[in-house]
Amino acid sequence: MTFDIKPGRGSERVKAWVYAILNPVIEALRRETEMLRSGNLSWRLRSRRCEYIRPISVLIDWDQHPNLEDFIAEHPTFSGRFSQHDSALAGVEQAATEYVQGLLRARSFQEQVGKCLADYEARLPFNPAYPDLLNRRDKIPEEIAEFLANNSRSLPRHYAMYSFWKEYAGTFQEDFGGFTETAHDNVKVKTQELLGISGQLSVDLEALRLMLVREYDIPAAPIEPPRANFPENNSSTRW
Amino acid sequence: MRGTSMAILDTGPIWELVLYSAVKQLGFANLEGDLTYFVRPEVYQNCGDFLSTFAGKTTSASVVVELYGRIQRTQPKKGHPDLWELVYEEFRRMSMDEDIVKLLDMELDLVAKFGPTDVSLLEIARRNMTQAPVILTVDREFHARCKKEEVSSELRIEVCNPIY
């Protein structure tokens, strides 16, 4: 740490770094690395971003941003590392966008979607459990493209596309997982890059947290004071 | 099955589906304690199997308001957009429809007895009798009260708990 006046034992300032900055970021990075390992980018065509993988500053409550600035002032190396994470994330989002746009433009993809839909519809009379997809037909290419970008191998049973995807996921993953190979490879490369950055950042932030809680003798998470008997407080769910 | 059957979802099953996605698929571990029914993957799968047997799924606008209440009770507030994203996604992926039932279209004594959300579900069922509606709820009281008041037999609406 670079400051001259060392915070004292139990410092409120250090607690603010741990509780408002390190804890939410570590938790989000752990979640992020798990998702990236499985290839689930949570990328959505509608927003063209990864819905559950976010830039670091977004992980921190807005009213805690002064504490973020204070943390960065004393740990300047993390400023660059947070930016590195955010640019890698932007790279993944850009790569996924290009991959999906390429997929949706490709005649071979459109033909494959049409072929699978025709086959699915021909099977409907013999498979009463298959839902009719007529009312979402126009959106199906986009849904498939999202499944491919997010490496969705199966869907929950209650989703309308469950039976379709169960039947044809393999076909699409074989033919289009590697479609426009450069675009698909680029998604994989960018994902691996982000995974590496996030994994290391998480490890380093955890090490820093351990060091801070030891050095300043503070708990790693706030100890809640005894609850006042307000029913509305008891119903609150922390996540 | 494809054809005529319609599932009308109460707040509880939708909230559990959303929580399960949040906890098991996206790793929001802090919400795990809120999962009341889908504590094991088999229960989630069973419910999914059950839901998949209905041609249509719908709910009431009042249920959306109750979902808002559940999301509001979670902390921190910055997580609320993520939960709403999950709610939207469940609705989109399930092809969930939504109906509005006006207060004045509901019987006063039923509203007084069950509350406007539950009565709105009953009213949606009444409006869709040709589609063999089934109300899905995890609210044992609602379920029991419907049975006790013979709502289901009177209206020929089946009320069931998808969890058990």
SS (H, E, C) chain A: CCCCCCCCCCCHHHHHHHHHHHHHHHHHHHHHHHHHHCCCCCEECCCCEECCCCCHHHHCCHHHHHHHHHHHHHCCHHHHHHHHHHHHHHHHHHHHHHHHHHHHHCHHHHHHHHHHHHHHHHHHHHCCCCCCCHHHHHHHHHHHHHHHHCCCCCCCCCCCCHHHHHHHHHHHHHHHCCCCHHHHHHHHHHHHHHHHHHHHHHHHHHHHHHHHHHHHCCCCCCCCCCCCCCHHHHCCEEC
Q: Residues A8, A14, A16, CA angle at the centre, nearest 5°? A: 140
- Is B52 in contact with A162 (Cβ distance < 8 A)? yes
Which residues in chain A are closer than 8 Å to B21, comparing Cβ atoms? 156
A35·B27 Cβ contact <8 A: yes
b/e sequence B18-52, b meaning 16+ C-beta within 10 Å: bbbbbbeebbbebbeebbebbeeeebbebbbebbb
Q: Judge: B93–A156 Cβ closer than 8 Å, yes or no.
A: yes
Q: How far apart are CA B83 and CA B89, in angstroms?
A: 10
* CATH superfamily placement of domain B6-160: 5'-nuclease (3.40.50.1010)
Q: What is the pLDDT of residue B140?
A: 77
CB atoms within 10 A of CB B110: 16
Specify the length of chain B in residues.
164
The DSSP letter of residue B3 is S
A-B Cβ pairs (cutoff 8 Å, strict): 85
For chain A, which residues score pLDDT lower than 70? 1-5, 175-181, 225-239
Nearest C-alpha in B relative to A57: B78
Per-residue pLDDT at A34: 95
Q: What is the per-residue burial (b if ≥16 Cβ within 10 Å, else e) of A218-232?
A: beeeeeeeeeeeeee
Mark yes or no for CB contact B17/A131 under 8 Å.
no
User: What's the confidence (pLDDT) of residue B154?
Assistant: 38
Which chain B residues touch A if contact means CB-CB below 8 Å? 1-3, 17, 21-22, 25-31, 33-34, 44-45, 47-49, 51-53, 55, 57, 73-79, 82, 85, 93-95
At position A132, the amino acid (one-letter code) is D
Q: What is the pLDDT of residues A85-125, one digit of tens each?
A: 999 999 999 999 999 999 999 998 999 999 999 999 999 99
Cα B141 vs. chain centroid, distance in angstroms?
14
Chain A residues in contact with B15 (beta carbon < 8 A): none
A51 vs B85: CB contact, 8 Å cut-off? Answer: yes
Confirm whether pTM is higher than 0.90. Answer: no
Amino acid at A27: E
A235/B73 Cβ within 8 A = yes
The rounded distance, in Å, linking the Cα atoms of B8 and B61 is 12
- Summarize pLDDT for B94-105 with one digit per residue, the tens: 999 999 999 999
Minimal Cα–Cα distance from A79 to chain B, Å?
22
pLDDT of residue B160: 57
User: B75, A237 in Cβ contact below 8 A?
Assistant: yes
Instruction: State the smallest CA–CA distance between residue A238 and chain B in angstroms.
Output: 4
- At residue B153, the pLDDT reads 37
Q: How does strand A43-44 pair with strand A49-50?
A: antiparallel
The pLDDT, as a whole number, for residue A237 is 55
Residue A11 Cα, gap to closest chain B Cα (Å): 23
Q: Which two tokens stand for residue B25?
A: 């698929």
Residues A16/B46, Cβ–Cβ less than 8 Å: no
Cα angle A47, A79, A149 (rounded to 5 degrees) comes to 30
CB A73 within 8 A of CB A39: no
Cα A232 from Cα A187, distance rounded (Å): 45
Q: What does the block give as tokens for A11?
A: 């410092």
Residue B133 CA to residue B129 CA, distance in Å, equals: 6
Contact A13, B6 (CB under 8 A): no
Interatomic CA distance for residues B69 and A16, integer angstroms:
29
Q: What share of chain B is helix, strand, coil (3-state, %, to 5)?
A: 60, 15, 25
User: β-strand B158-160 against B133-136: which pairing, if any?
Assistant: parallel
CA atoms within 13 A on the CB side of A217: 3
Collapsing DSSP to helix, strand or coil, B162 comes out as coil
Residue-wise pLDDT tens for chain B (164 aa)?
455 688 999 999 999 999 999 998 888 888 888 888 888 888 888 888 888 888 889 999 999 999 999 999 987 778 899 999 999 999 999 999 999 999 999 989 889 988 999 999 989 988 888 888 888 888 877 777 666 655 553 344 555 555 55
Among A35, A62, A160, beta carbon nearest to B94 = A160
pLDDT value of residue A225: 67
CB-nearest partner of A158 from B26, B77, B94: B94
pLDDT of residue A18: 98
Q: Which of B1, B31, B47 sits opposite A237 (nearest CB)?
A: B31
Report pLDDT for B156.
43
Chain B partners within 8 Å of A239 (Cβ): 22, 28, 30-31, 34, 74-76, 79
Pairwise CB contact (< 8 Å): A128 & B94: no
